[in-house]
């Protein structure tokens, strides 16, 4: 239980509703900022404007998955209130206050560093990334179905990268009967791909391996699907780029060649916001209770 802990949840999208639900269950004192248009009957939870929060006793601040924008603004889909995360605001918090977000940017890094507060990026954690790879793979299946006129079963699919997303995507498409090959650069990854009964190839040989594919799914956040790679693909190839913006595909060249190439960010929040929210909520609950336990022990 998180009885006695005060958490401010500032902004966000449908995923934060699962966080609110979970933290309420755990008896957390919650201050919700940027949720005034939310109709859910979260009894006992206080909705307030950002200037109304007493940050002096806030033990944790939960920002949206995207953190802030580069001007410090916090996005919310449940309010028109303009909210900014500033050094002044954070300075009001006790020194043990921890800031949580999914990802970060230079602005957020600067603010937490300047004030000297701990900042946890949830999406950097292996457990969150692996759980999130499940809705990501399902969203990719949805996109392939939407943008091709053949079954996934029997399609020839190249997955680039065998990280947390690449592994789940490769396995999911193989389970649907696709003929999956996976490109990687590390020999242990090539060995793992073979162990998974998929066809491994080294990324140095990518151009050779795209000549006979129907779909190319990139998970590598670097320019790998270059013009010369795209030039070797059959004209009907569908490219889905899952890597974070700007992706790893030469979209300009793909368009010039008439090859359909789609950047597909944020699939978990689109195809399964409830699950994506639960993933964040469960990890947050663990982290907050570990934090509370540590502080109680330190007080003894």
**Contacts to ligand NAP by CB under 6 A:** 129, 132, 136, 161-166, 184-186, 203, 219-222, 242-244, 264-268
- Residue closer to ligand NAP, measured from CB, 221 or 273: 221
- Residue closer to ligand NAP, measured from CB, 105 or 289: 105
Neighbours of 215 (CB within 10 A): 25
- Residue closer to ligand NAP, measured from CB, 48 or 262: 262
- Catalogue the E-assigned strands of 69-154: 98-101, 118-121
| Smallest distance, ligand NAP to C-beta of residue 295, A | 31
- Residue closer to ligand NAP, measured from CB, 6 or 66: 66
- Residue closer to ligand NAP, measured from CB, 203 or 288: 203
| Smallest distance, ligand NAP to C-beta of residue 274, A | 16
| Smallest distance, ligand NAP to C-beta of residue 299, A | 37
DSSP line for 174-214: HHTT-EEEEEESSHHHHHHHHHTTSEEEEGGGHHHHTTT-S
Q: Is 122 left (phi over 0), alpha (psi -120 to 50) or beta?
A: alpha
Q: Minimal CA–CA distance to 158: which of 209, 225, 230, 90? A: 209
| Smallest distance, ligand NAP to C-beta of residue 183, A | 8
User: Which residue is nearest to ligand NAP, using beta carbons?
Assistant: 163
At residue 111, φ and ψ (nearest 5 deg) are -65, -50
Structure token pair of residue 194: 């073979």
| Smallest distance, ligand NAP to C-beta of residue 139, A | 6
């Amino acid at each position: 239980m998180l009885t006695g802990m005060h958490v401010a949840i500032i902004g966000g999208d449908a995923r934060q509703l699962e966080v609110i639900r979970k933290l309420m269950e755990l008896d957390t004192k919650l201050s919700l900022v940027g949720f005034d248009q939310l109709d859910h009957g979260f009894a006992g939870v206080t909705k307030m404007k950002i200037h109304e929060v007493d940050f002096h006793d806030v033990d944790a601040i939960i920002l949206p998955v995207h953190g802030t924008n580069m001007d410090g603004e916090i996005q919310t889909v449940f309010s028109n209130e303009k909210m900014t995360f500033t050094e002044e605001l954070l300075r009001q918090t006790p020194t043990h206050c921890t800031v949580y977000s999914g990802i970060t940017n230079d602005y957020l890094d600067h603010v937490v560093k300047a004030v000297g507060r701990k900042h946890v990026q949830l999406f950097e954690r292996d457990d969150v990334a692996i759980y999130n790879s499940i809705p990501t793979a399902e969203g990719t299946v949805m996109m392939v179905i939407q943008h091709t006129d053949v079954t996934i079963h029997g399609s020839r699919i190249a997955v680039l990268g065998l990280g947390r997303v690449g592994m789940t995507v490769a396995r999911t498409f193989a389970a649907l009967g696709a003929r999956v090959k996976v490109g990687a650069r590390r020999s242990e990854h090539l060995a793992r791909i073979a162990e998974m009964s998929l066809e491994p190839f080294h990324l140095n040989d990518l151009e050779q391996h795209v000549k006979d594919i129907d779909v190319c799914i990139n998970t590598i956040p670097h320019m790998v699907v270059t013009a010369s790679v795209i030039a070797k693909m059959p004209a009907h190839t569908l490219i889905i780029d899952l890597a974070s913006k700007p992706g790893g595909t030469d979209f300009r060249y793909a368009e010039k060649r008439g090859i359909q190439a789609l950047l597909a960010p944020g699939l978990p929040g689109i195809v399964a916001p409830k699950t994506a929210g639960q993933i964040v909520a469960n990890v947050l609950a663990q982290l907050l209770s570990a934090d509370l336990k540590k502080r109680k022990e330190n007080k003894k």
